[in-house]
Structure 1
Amino acid sequence: MSAEIICVGTELLLGDILNSNAKFLAQQLAQLGIPHYYQTVVGDNPERIKQVIEIAASRVQILIFTGGLGPTPDDLTCETIADFFGVPLVENAAIIEDISEKFTQRGRVMSPSNRKQALIPQGAEILPNPTGTAPGIIWQPRPGLTILTFPGVPSEMHRMWSETAVPFLKSQGWGKEIIYSRSLKFWGIGESILAEKVSAYLNLPNPTVAPYAGNGEVRLRISAKASDSTASADLISPIEKQLREIGGLDCYGADDDTLASVVGDLLRSSGETLSVAESCTGGGLGQMLTEISGSSDYFLGGVISYDNSVKVGLLGVNPEDLDKFGAVSATVAEQMAVGVKGRLFTTWGLSITGIAGPTGGNVAKPVGLVYIGLAGSGDEVKSYECRFGAMWHRSFIRYMSACQALDNLRRSLLKR
């Protein structure tokens, strides 16, 4: 038993709207333990919608449509589905009454075009829309095939799914098992290298393990199918423990953890504090830290020392070293970290200076060259050279620099 998600709307194909509905439905199907192997996006074109139905109905038992249920001429989902299966559309009086009442509650008069939303395939049941004017349908046009339709408005679709679709699917015997996933997060290791290290786990039947990468980090998704979340977690737990051991320090957390939240937890637990000095990131590191609620427990503040005069005047960087080594250098990064730590009286000082591009680089110091400084207890100070490469966009180099700085601090906190 499997499902297919079909999202209808030319605006999705053009990229005008982010397809968050597919993500929501995929997560919900997993929670019900209903596999789905295909997602389709199709424009507002009857013939192409029919082609999609023909293919999908030949390989799955549940078709879930979103979009195309409005009152305008390009809202074609219901009539196209009905036409494909050779069934007439019939006007449903209950839908007319519901739409009229909603317009009255808003102090408006129902437009004649809204009557179109009351046309549903003969034999279909209404999937009520408590908030909007576009109801969906629950229909079994032939044995072994169920169709559910939802409007494209996410807030309406979410409520219709939870209040009507889920109880219906469970009443049909689906949803007896759930698919529960946990994602381990890694920083400082490439996807291919990590995949090689955990290769013995990538062909497990249940739970399954799959690697994927994005935004500089790698994740291992562990998914288990069982009767409930507790049983799934029991299946995942020993595999997670083994993968964490293999990953070592490269594994920094799981699920909703971020480098900033993990660093924050480590600082809070040790009663230590942090300040930052930023040049090329322009406050991005401080933003990551302050996105965490309660970060004032350990993060005192920072200095955006974009100009060299600020590096000298506020952070105490030696002007002779600036002339000799340049602002983008290990020496300056270290002095920035020491300077901000001393200025704000914190346990740790963390600094970033680099060339984010697209201009400013040369052969000796190319775009993507970044130095991170870290000043700890006593006179301890370190610097780290990073070469992110000129092929990346400026914003990505800045993002990677901030993340790498946090990871350097995380590893230092754990290695003590």
Structure 2
Amino acid sequence: MISSARAEIITIGDEILFGQIVDTNTQWIGTQLTDIGIRPVRKTSVGDQRQDILDAFKQASERVNVVIVTGGLGPTRDDITKHTFCEYFGTELEINQEALALVTEFFAKRGRTMTELNIQQAALPKNCTYIPNLWGTAPGMWFEKDGVIYVSLPGVPFEMKNLMEFEILPRLKARFSTHIIQHKQIRTIGIGESFLAEKIAAWEDALPEHIKLAYLPHFGQVKLRLTGTGTDQAVLDSELNAQVALVLPLIEEYVFGFDSDELETIIGTLLMQNNATVGTAESCTGGYVANQITSVSGSSRYYEGSVVSYSNAVKMSVLGVSPATLEAFGAVSEQTAREMAEGARRVLNTTFAISTTGIAGPDGGTPEKPVGTVWIACATPEETFTQLLTLRNNRKINIELTCSYALNLLRKSILKATLAVKG
């Protein structure tokens, strides 16, 4: 049994390089390999060009001992993976009778007539180990050469995932005696990556050799991912939890969750725990905040509704924003955000309400209020909190950042209101 396993994932297909489809296979495969202790060290995408594929195989073999290949196994002429494997391994295609029987059964069950192209799906390199695909027509293939395992899988995610789960992962686990690779994530918001790094520098420097830290920034949030390697799952979990306990006092005000927690799920939990409700009043985000809140199953238990008050007329007629406020301060102002949130709380009859108003861009800014100027507010039973955001010159990013910060303002407002009640 081999004790060290490193993997490279190769995706084949012009459609990935051209951006016509999103490569979700690599992310999923990487997670599955990590879960069984095989460390992915590189991912490579190549088009449907014979030499590029051959070069990718050769280069991968110099770096790793497991190569996972997806794509290029269809019945049409542009799918050349099998032919390229034949060239790489010095063999030729032949009809595999097991594969042919499975393909024949696949079409018979669906009442469809097989074509010659369908029959060629069963043509496999002579020296591969056939991996039956019970979920489609493109078989998997397993090769070994000079101590390197090559696995070829269909690119269709549903077929690939089933082949990996039921065929490939068990074989890899049986082949390698691997260390456990365990991740723990701390989710933060409201602090930049560099400032966060400064706050925890001493803690990071003191991390044990077998625990590594990565910073993963995304739309106003930074994930701190601890990755530990060991041989005992319980010990490793305990060590990671101990490191989390050490760093939390340094950054607790910015931490909203752990691992797969999302702001919208955390908020939902807080609202249900306090038997509270929320509504939204949105201008520059156009309903995106409502979309995020309602993306959580069961959100109808605490979310009442939204007013997308894109125009000043709706701000005044529905939310009750004062014409004098708009005249004196404008739609993008602390005063307007405050009145929008308070109006939404009143109209929707909720415990809390959040509002957004700003200049998402790319145009519409002024010297006094440039693109990216956004005000958010959260109205509670006791008071209304406001926050000024100075964002970027990108409409999509500004909308997503505003949503993230607005949800966080709601989270902090709920916690403050809860503490006030308990106090």
Q: What TM-score, normalized to structure 1? A: 0.93
Where do residues 104-123 of structure 1 align in structure 2 (5 Å cutoff)? Answer: 104-123=108-127
Alpha-carbon distance in structure 1 between the residues aligned to 2:285 and 2:251: 29
Q: Which residue of 2 aligns with 1:64?
A: 68
4+ residue segments displaced more than 3 Å: 226-232
Provide closer, same or farther for how the CA distance between residues 145 and 349 of structure 1 changes in structure 2, counting only shifts above 3 A: closer
Aligned mate of 2:34, from 23, 27, 30: 30
Question: Does residue 1:151 correspond to 2:154, yes or no?
Answer: yes
**CA-atom RMSD in angstroms:** 1.9
Question: Does residue 1:340 correspond to 2:353, yes or no?
Answer: no
The letter of the residue matching 1:296 is S
Q: Which residue of 2 aligns with 1:410?
A: 411
For residue 266 of structure 2, give the secondary structure of its aligned residue in structure 1. helix
Q: Any unmatched runs of 5+ in structure 2?
A: none
Alpha-carbon distance in structure 1 between the residues aligned to 2:360 and 2:160: 42
Cα deviation per residue 1:166-192 (whole Å; 9 max; x = unaligned)? Answer: 221122134x44322122111111111
Q: Which residue of 1 aligns with 2:166?
A: 163
Alpha-carbon distance in structure 2 between the residues aligned to 1:370 and 1:226: 46
User: How far apart are residue 194 of structure 1 and its match?
Assistant: 1.1
The letter of the residue matching 2:397 is F
For residue 205 of structure 1, give the secondary structure of its aligned residue in structure 2. coil
Cα deviation per residue 1:193-228 (whole Å; 9 max; x = unaligned)? Answer: 112222342664322211111222111111223446
The letter of the residue matching 1:168 is R
Range with greater deviation from structure 2 (396-405 or 27-36) = 396-405
Alpha-carbon distance in structure 2 between the residues aligned to 1:121 and 1:316: 73
Alpha-carbon distance in structure 1 between the residues aligned to 2:175 and 2:348: 63
Provide closer, same or farther for how the CA distance between residues 178 and 111 of structure 1 changes in structure 2, counting only shifts above 3 A: farther
Q: Which residue of 2 aligns with 1:96?
A: 100
Cα deviation per residue 1:313-358 (whole Å; 9 max; x = unaligned)? Answer: 2222221121111111111111122222222332223221111122
User: How far apart are residue 244 of structure 1 and its match?
Assistant: 2.5
User: How far apart are residue 270 of structure 1 and its match?
Assistant: 2.2
Check the 8 A contact 1:249/1:411 in 2, yes or no: no
Cα deviation per residue 1:18-75 (whole Å; 9 max; x = unaligned)? Answer: 1111111101110110112111111111111111111111221111111111222222
Q: Any unmatched runs of 5+ in structure 1?
A: none
Alpha-carbon distance in structure 1 between the residues aligned to 2:403 and 2:49: 46
Question: Does residue 1:220 correspond to 2:224, yes or no?
Answer: yes
Aligned mate of 1:46, from 40, 46, 50: 50
Alpha-carbon distance in structure 2 between the residues aligned to 1:97 and 1:298: 54
The letter of the residue matching 1:179 is I
Q: Which residue of 1 aligns with 2:185?
A: 183
Check the 8 A contact 1:100/1:109 in 2, yes or no: no
Provide closer, same or farther for how the CA distance between residues 113 and 163 of structure 1 changes in structure 2, counting only shifts above 3 A: same
Cα deviation per residue 1:221-275 (whole Å; 9 max; x = unaligned)? Answer: 1122344654442232111222322221211112222222222222222223222
Provide closer, same or farther for how the CA distance between residues 158 and 231 of structure 1 changes in structure 2, counting only shifts above 3 A: farther
User: How far apart are residue 367 of structure 1 and its match?
Assistant: 1.4
The letter of the residue matching 1:411 is K
The letter of the residue matching 2:151 is L
For residue 239 of structure 1, give the secondary structure of its aligned residue in structure 2. helix
For residue 91 of structure 2, give the secondary structure of its aligned residue in structure 1. coil
Question: Does residue 1:292 correspond to 2:296, yes or no?
Answer: yes
Alpha-carbon distance in structure 1 between the residues aligned to 2:40 and 2:86: 24
Aligned mate of 2:256, from 246, 252, 255: 252
Alpha-carbon distance in structure 1 between the residues aligned to 2:57 and 2:184: 33
Q: How many positions carry a matched residue from both structures? A: 411
Question: Does residue 1:16 correspond to 2:17, yes or no?
Answer: no
Q: What TM-score, normalized to structure 2? A: 0.92
Check the 8 A contact 1:87/1:122 in 2, yes or no: yes
Provide closer, same or farther for how the CA distance between residues 411 and 103 of structure 1 changes in structure 2, counting only shifts above 3 A: same
Q: Which residue of 2 aligns with 1:371?
A: 375
Q: Which residue of 2 aligns with 1:194?
A: 196
Cα deviation per residue 1:266-310 (whole Å; 9 max; x = unaligned)? Answer: 222222322222222222222222222222333222322222222
Q: Which residue of 1 aligns with 2:318?
A: 314
Question: Does residue 1:84 correspond to 2:88, yes or no?
Answer: yes
The letter of the residue matching 1:71 is P
Q: Which residue of 2 aligns with 1:388?
A: 391
Q: Which residue of 2 aligns with 1:206?
A: 210
Alpha-carbon distance in structure 2 between the residues aligned to 1:343 and 1:71: 60
For residue 272 of structure 1, give the secondary structure of its aligned residue in structure 2. coil
